[in-house]
Amino acid sequence: SGVGNIANAVLGAMGANPDIPQFSMYSEVLQDSVIDLISAGKIKYASATSLTVTPGKIQEVYGNPKFFREHVILRPQEISNNPEVARRIGVISINTAIEFDLSGNVNSSHIMGKNIMNGIGGSGDFTRAAYCSIYTAPSVAKGGCISAIVPNVSHTDHSEHSVNVVITEYGVADLRFKSPLERAKLIIDNCVHPDYRDLLNQFL
């Protein structure tokens, strides 16, 4: 799982869903939601390189080292981000997109194609090696003034060949084994904000 509010919220929702069984996590960074899910027994084991948690959560970890020693391991980045390991153990990767396009290409680092919002971190390592790679994003940005789903991304970090599933608050588009036209229709029908569907349909 990537870093940020959306990733934290997605993991929290997974833990709250009674249909999702206890699972293990293999990631680069662990956030607050992971500590909560470990404490609740939803995550049985978590492997990462570092903790990126709030002061309250790190105190929770420090306050119960015996418990967390049994559920967390921190490894060097050469291991945690090793694509061979991610592929071998069948990782399901979940990362956040700034925008994605009708082909399934993802921009996760640049605003307007030129201003860097953040680095891609380990998302490339996991996206290209994952058993299933998922990208989440809100359907709109700037208070609804622009769509986060565009005809063509302004900067490509992850190509359509590596991205399996895209998700917004409107739904899920599973892009695997779909033609370019099928992918575009799925994205528009399932992920685009209703205010922008007619506009994007013009690009089909």
70 carries an active-site annotation: no
In SS3 terms, 173-201 reads as: EECCCCCHHHHHHHHHHHHCCHHHHHHHH
What number of other Cβ atoms are within 10 A of residue 28's Cβ? Answer: 21
Distance CA(76)–CA(117), nearest Å, equals: 26
What does the buried/exposed string (b/e) look like for 70-106 if buried means 16 or more CB atoms within 10 Å of the residue's CB? ebbeeeeeeebbebebbeeeebebbbbbbbbbbbbbb
Place of tokens 């680092």: 109
Distance CA(74)–CA(76), nearest Å, equals: 7
Distance CA(121)–CA(135), nearest Å, equals: 14
Q: In residues, how long is the chain?
A: 204
Catalytic one of 28, 60, 70, 78: 28
Quote the radius of gyration of the chain (alpha carbons, Å): 18
Helical H segments across 91-179, by residue range: 123-129
> Catalytic residue numbers?
28
